[in-house]
Amino acid sequence: MGDVKELHRQWCIADGHADSLMWNRDLCERSTEGHVDFPRLREAGVKLQCFTLVTRGFPFIGGFPLFAAWRKWPREARGSEWTRALWQIEKLDAFCARSGDTVRVATTGAGLEDNLAHGRLSAVLGVEGGHAIEGQVERLAELHRRGVRFMGLTHLSNNDLGGSSFPMMGNRGLTPLGHQVMEEMARLGMSVDVAHASEQTLTDLFAHPTVRYFCSHTGVRAAGGGWRNLSDEALRTIAQRGGVVGIILAPVYLGGDTWDDVVRHVEHAVDVMGEEGVGVGSDYDGMVALPRGMRDVTDLPRLTEALLKRHPESWVERVMGGNFRRYFRETLGGG
C-alpha cells in the first residue's frame, strides 16, 4: 500500500460524485461520520472532488425537508428547492474560505490546473436534479455565476424537465422545458450529468448537437448490478462526445460488494469506451453502502491497488483521475 499511496500523492486522483454537502458536516474538520471531508480527501490523495447539491429526496417519501431539519439546516434554507441549492453553495464557499487556501472551487480549466500546481483540492460543483431551478431557466445563469458547472436534469423521480431512471417512472423523455434548459446549459457551457436520466431522456439528450455530457456515478449494465446502470450503447455515445463515466462504488449497482466487482465494471466500461472514457464516481455520502473493506475515502488506494494488479500504471492513472482532469479542463470554461 505504501507505493500506492505515493502514486496517489503524485497523480490527480479524482472522484465524480459526493453528496457530502447535504449532511451539514463541517468539511474542514476530520470526522468519523460519513465518507468525505477535506482532511480525509487530502489523506487519500484526492485532488479533484465533485460535490453535488441535493434538493429533493425519494419520490415516494418527499422527506427531504425532514432530512434537512434532522441535519440542522437553518429554517430559511429548507424552504424551497432553490434555497436548498443556494445554501449548499454558500456552505462550500465558507468551507473553502476557512481551508487555509487548501481547497478552492474550480470554475475554469486554468483554475483547475493552478490548484493542481499549488497542491490545492479542486471542488467542482454540480446539481443533482434540475427541479432545483423550479422551472425558471434564467436561474441557470445564477448557478453558473456561483460556480456550478454541471447539472443532472432529473434525480430519483420524474420532474418538469424529463424522466428519471428510477423504477416505475414510465421512461419519460425530455419535456419542452427540459429542451429549453438543455439549450441554456449548452449556451452557458454547463455539462449535463446523465446519471439519473431515463432511457428516453438519454435518447433526447444525445440528439443535441453541442451540449457536453458525462456521467458522474453509475454502474454498467453488461457487468451486472442495478436498475440505473448504463447500456453499452450509452457508454459509446458518451465516449464519442469526449465524456467520462464515473464508476460507482455502491454494491447495489455493482452486483457485488468486493473490489473485484468494482474492477469488473471499470474494465467493461474501458473495453467499450476506451482508456480515456472511464473514471471513478463513488457516490460518497449518498446513503449507499461501500464495498467490503472501505470505510470512507481514505480507503480509495485499495481500488488503485486492485487495478494495478491487472493493468499498467498509465491505464490506472487515467481511470483514477486523469480522465476527469482532462474532461473538466476542457469543459469548465475559460475566464
- How distant is the alpha carbon of residue 70 from its chain centre? 24
Residue 295 is placed in which grid cell? 470505510
CB of 137 closer than 8 Å to CB of 180: yes
Chain position carrying cell 479542463: 329
Chain position carrying cell 422545458: 177
CB of 44 closer than 8 Å to CB of 121: no
Residue 164 confidence (pLDDT): 82
Angle separating helix axes 2-10 and 301-308, nearest 10 degrees: 100
| Short-list 245, 236, 242, 157, CA closest to 201 | 157
Cβ neighbours of residue 209 closer than 8 Å, sequence gap 6 or more: none
82 CB-side CA count, 13 A: 10
Residue 145 falls inside a structural domain: yes
Residue 259 falls inside a structural domain: yes
Residue 169 is placed in which grid cell? 417512472
Residue 169 falls inside a structural domain: yes
Residue 63 confidence (pLDDT): 78
Residue 228 confidence (pLDDT): 84
Residue 97 falls inside a structural domain: yes
Give Cα separations from 25 to 36, 77, 104, 236 (angstroms).
10, 15, 18, 38
Give the chain's residues under pLDDT 70.
1-2, 58-62, 335
Residue 335 confidence (pLDDT): 60
| Short-list 184, 180, 229, CA closest to 202 | 229
Domain CATH code at residue 224: 3.20.20.140
Q: Model pTM?
A: 0.96
Residue 91 falls inside a structural domain: yes
d(CA 241, CA 206): 9
Residue 158 confidence (pLDDT): 80
CB of 40 closer than 8 Å to CB of 30: yes
Chain position carrying cell 474494465: 267
Residues spanned by the domain of 253: 2-330
Residue 184 falls inside a structural domain: yes
- How distant is the alpha carbon of residue 225 from its chain centre? 19
* Overall number of domains in the chain: 1
d(CA 335, CA 333): 7
- How distant is the alpha carbon of residue 248 from its chain centre? 9
Residue 335 falls inside a structural domain: no
